Structure 1
Amino acid sequence: MAPLDLTDPAVVADPYPAFAAARAVAPVQWHEDLGLWLAFTHAESNAVLRDRRLGRIWRDREPADRFGAFNLIHRNALLEMEPPDHTRLRRLVSAAFARGHVERLRPWVERYAAELADGLVERSGGSEPVDVLSGMAEELPVGVIAELLGVPAADRPLLRPWSNAIVKMYEYGRTAEVEDAAERAAAEFVAYLRELAAERRRAPGEDLLTHLVTVRDAEGGRLTEDELVTTCILLLNAGHEATVNVSGNGLVALLEHRDQLGRLRADPALLPTAVEELMRFDSPLQLFERTATADVELGGATVRAGEKVAALLGAANRDPAVFADPDTLDVGRTDNPHVSFGAGVHFCIGAPLARVELQASFGALLTRTRDLQLARPARRRPEFVIRGLTELPVVLTP
């Protein structure tokens, strides 16, 4: 019997009771339908993320001629590489990031978050529900990544639809229509970024894309054209998808735990720990796969070379062996080694920027409102792997 059904609407809506039940059976279990091992505990998930014998081994989607652009943006991605290729590429990308881009953007992010929050509060006026997801949670991270890369304002509405279509390929039980849409989006995104990169070569700026175009390492190496394009797409897809979903999931969690919302409003200094807790409490990414390059003993199971194993990040983040009262939201939780940003060599390179965005977003909403109330239940996306919402109707009282 499979440890859990990832397509069950009840599991998609709230996977945490199913995780707890499965964790009580064994820390690592084989899922016949998915053809991979699942790690349900923090220790085993952490091992999946850190053990160098468990790698990200990219295999092109078949047929290759149907998924040309989708394969290109993964074959050359940091997330799908192992050392030494990963080491070289991460060093180059980190060098470009190290030019102060996060701190450069911090005031801009805070101003933009305030502007979006003001607009929502004005439209709501304490009586009308407004969709905080489309009005702020989606707008802020897309705007930030676009500003980071130097995407012109007129082109920014293109980015989220491309990203949304591409990440649906990571779900189970996809339709042919979903796959075709992902390939179209990848092809359009690649073509757009090739053109934008060419423009930066002609007219450099102070944005991250310019620095990615020009960065070199100590040996004089630089990003290939495909690596450059792929890195930009990864920053958008991984960066904004996670931030959007932490914003949505986190606000719902606060609205359903009014004591913690009040505590955070009364003590804004808790904002940094609150953001970490919201990431732990309802993880934006639930599952991350690895492939064994050698036989690995894991949680009493043997993962054979060539087999896949997945860390269930949401299950790891609710493991009672690591987190006291794991099903309790505690915005002051300080002992919080959550794995929502990953771990090991693939730890999220955009984590510092994500934290800036999330603190700005929640801070702006709390400082500009006296009260927040769900107008009706939030609508959740029907997918398991990328955990998020499609609508978050809230009444904001100035």
Structure 2
Amino acid sequence: MTTAPVRLPEHLIHPFAPAGRANPHPAYRWLRANDPVHYDAASRLWLVTAHGDCATVLRDPRFSAAQGQRERARDDALPPSMLTTDPPDHHRLRAPGALLLGPAAVRSLSAGLLEDVDALLDRLPVGGRVDAVAEIGRPLATAVYARLFGLPAGESKRFEALARAASVNLDPMVPPARAALGRSAAGALTHYLDGHASSVVGRTDVPLAALAADDRLSRAEMLGILSLAVIGGWQPLAEFIGNALHLLLPDRAAVSSLAGADEDLARLAVDELLRLEAPIPFTARVTTDRVELGGGVLPAGARVLAVLTAANRDPSVFTDPDELRLDRSPNPHLGFGGGPHFCLAAPLVRQTAALLLPRLVRRFPALRGPDGVPDWDQCLVPRRLRALPIELGGSA
């Protein structure tokens, strides 16, 4: 006897439907409570929404990341990188990747990142109105990558244009016309990075130089890691700033707490903001065998999405899961993924956001966000706001 597939109640909008993308949380909340390992007939994907089950998907070797790219509703292959490989190839690529994005590389940039944050804040108009996405998040992400890659000052705008155009490749369900533009942009970005990597060889102050000189990698593998670092890192870092301020600014007690935060509380705050609205809301895998999870059974060959944004609000793990608690600890969120594929750029995101956010609210204590419904973009990945107009008020 076969069991009929579970369907969302009629009052809930499918989280992938255009009308459901602005607020997918009610649908994910229902799935997590009623069918945490859910076969979605519309996308032909298994949606895993409970925290414990998502953690298993991320860590269990029976879930293949290399095969997971088959989930993408696209016919283009992704370049060789940590994202598209399983161990042992994944480990072979990840070790050199740490030369670019690992903790030691981030520590080497810490003084420069602080300079970049202060320079960005100095440019903001006191008493003015800015778009936090376009005028804070994107310039900050570009400055960070300029440090990582050793970009000359005049190259920042060109790099940002290439990064923005190529970042469409993050969305696995982008329409065909935009997917074609994304492929072309990714090729242009790779060509640019190839030439630039050659120009920094021998420098000791640029993390890219160490990666480019690593003889454990072929040139194609090195460029695959670089492309992933940009496509999978620049845009999510840029968009996270808008997401974070959208969550933070309505909560004046949280703003006040962050203004007085030390480094430890600032990092806790970044993790909490990521927990609630991470730019990467899910990750894809394919099962290589039958797998029993706490919430259900997956057959071999199942195309699986670990819905990280649903796992991050699981009430069995997080007290008051929909509330912002800047000092939440422990905070085992999955906003950076987990297991072998834990986001290599996590130290960079944590460091950069923990530098920016407290300084921003200290510099502009009257900072206010917009009233009304947030303007979420229709893309699935990254989860981002189209714009976030904020009133800066006077400086402190």
TM-score normalised to structure 2 length: 0.89
Deviations 1:355-387 (A, max 9, x none): 110011102202211211124554221122311
Q: Does 1:214 align with 2:218?
A: no
Q: Any conservation in 2 of the 1:56–1:289 contact (CA below 8 Å)?
A: yes
Structure 1 position 170, deviation (Å): 4.1
Residue of structure 1 equivalent to 2:152: 152
- Structure 1 Cα separation of the partners of residues 182 and 218 of structure 2: 23
Are 1:387 and 2:379 matched, yes or no? no
Q: Which residue of 2 aligns with 1:49?
A: 58
What's the CA shift for 1:319? 0.2
Name the counterpart of 2:225.
Answer: 231
Q: Residue 151 of structure 1 aligns to which amino acid in structure 2?
A: L
Q: For 1:159 and 1:305, locate their aligned partners in 2 and report how far apart those are by CA, in whole Å.
A: 42
Letter in 2 for 1:277: E
Q: In structure 2, do the counterparts of structure 1 residues 376 and 7 end up closer, same or farther at CA, with 3 Å as the change threshold?
A: same
Whether contact under 8 Å (2:281, 2:381) holds in the other structure is: yes
- Tell me the distance in 2 between the aligned counterparts of 1:210 and 1:55: 31
For residues 50-103 of structure 1, the C-alpha deviation after alignment (integer angstroms, 9 at most, x for no partner) is 111101125888xxxx97xx63xx231111111111111112222565693211
Indicate conservation of the 8 Å contact 1:96/1:215, yes or no: no
Q: Which amino acid letter does the alignment assign opposite residue 79 of structure 1?
A: L
CA distance 1:233–1:75, change in 2 (3 Å): closer
* TM-score when normalising by structure 1: 0.89
Q: Which runs of 5+ in 2 are unaligned?
A: 1-5
State whether residues 39 and 45 of structure 1, in contact with CA within 8 Å, keep that contact through their aligned partners in structure 2.
Answer: yes
Decide which of 289, 297, 313 is 2:308's aligned counterpart: 313
Give the residue type in structure 1 aligned to 2:213.
T
CA distance in 2, matches of 1:215, 1:182: 28
Amino acid at match of 2:187: A
User: More deviation in 319-328 or 386-395?
Assistant: 386-395
> C-alpha distance in 1, partners of 2:30/2:68?
33
Cα pair 1:242 1:284 within 8 Å, conserved: yes
Q: Deviations over 1:168-195 (max 9, x none)?
A: 3443553222011101101101111221
- The one of 279, 283, 286 equivalent to 1:284 is 279
Does residue 17 of structure 1 match 2:26? yes
Counterpart amino acid of residue 391 in structure 1: A
More off after superposition, 145-154 vs 244-253: 145-154
SS of 1:13's equivalent in the other structure is: coil
Which has the larger displacement, 247-256 or 205-214? 205-214
- DSSP 3-state at the match of 1:111: helix
Residue in 1 that maps onto 2:90: 86
- State the Cα distance separating 1:140 from its structure 2 match: 0.9
Cα distance change on mapping 1:300 and 1:315 into 2, 3 Å = closer
Task: Indicate the residue corresponding to 1:396 in structure 2.
Answer: 392
* Other structure's SS at 1:100 match: helix
> Is contact 1:2-1:33 (8 Å) kept?
no
2: distance between equivalents of 1:57 and 1:255?
39
Report the counterpart of residue 219 of structure 1 in structure 2: none
Alignment of 1:123-272 (within 5 A): 123=125, 125-126=126-127, 128-171=128-171, 173-201=173-201, 204-216=203-215, 222-268=216-262, 270-272=265-267
Encode CA deviations 1:266-309: one digit per residue, 9 max, x unaligned. Answer: 44452121111101111211110001111111234332222211
Partner residue in 1 for 2:112: 108
1:231 to 1:147, Cα distance in 2 relative to 1, 3 A: same
Seq. identity, %:
31
Counterpart of 1:47, as a letter, is T
Whole-Å Cα distance in 2 between the matches of residues 95 and 132 of structure 1? 31
SS in 1 for 2:46: strand
Is this contact kept in 2: 1:376–1:393, CA < 8 A? no
| CA shift digits 1:126-157 (9 cap, x unpaired) | 2x321121111111122112211122222222
Aligned in 2, Cα 1:204/1:113: closer, same or farther, shift over 3 Å? closer
AA partner of residue 230 (structure 1)? G
Distance 1:264-1:383 versus aligned 2 partners, 3 A rule:
same
CA offset at residue 315 of structure 1?
0.4
Q: Indicate the RMSD between aligned Cα atoms, in angstroms.
A: 2.3
Q: Deviations over 1:237-277 (max 9, x none)?
A: 22222222221111011112222222222444521211111
Cα 1:232–1:325 change in 2 (3 A) is same
**Paired letter, 1:249:** N
**Which runs of 5 or more structure 1 residues have no equivalent in the other structure?**
217-221
Match of 2:3 in 1: none
One-letter amino acid matched to 1:394: I
1:10 deviation in Å? Answer: 4.4
Corresponding position of 2:49: 40
* 1:200 Cα deviation after fit: 3.4
- For the residues of structure 2 that align with 1:49 and 1:22, how far apart are their CA atoms? 19
Letter in 1 for 2:208: L
Distance 1:196 1:266, change over 3 A: closer
1:366 to 1:88, Cα distance in 2 relative to 1, 3 A: same
Q: Give the deviation of 1:310 after TM superposition.
A: 0.8
Paired with 2:206 and 2:173, the residues of 1 have a C-alpha distance of 39
- Between 87-96 and 304-313, report the one with greater CA deviation: 87-96
Asked if structure 2 preserves the Cα contact closer than 8 Å seen for 1:39 and 1:310, the reply is: yes
Query: Which stretch has the larger CA shift, 290-299 or 204-213?
Result: 204-213
What do the CA deviations read for 1:188-237 (whole angstroms, capped 9, x no partner)?
Answer: 01111221223334x54531221112224xxxxx1111111111111122
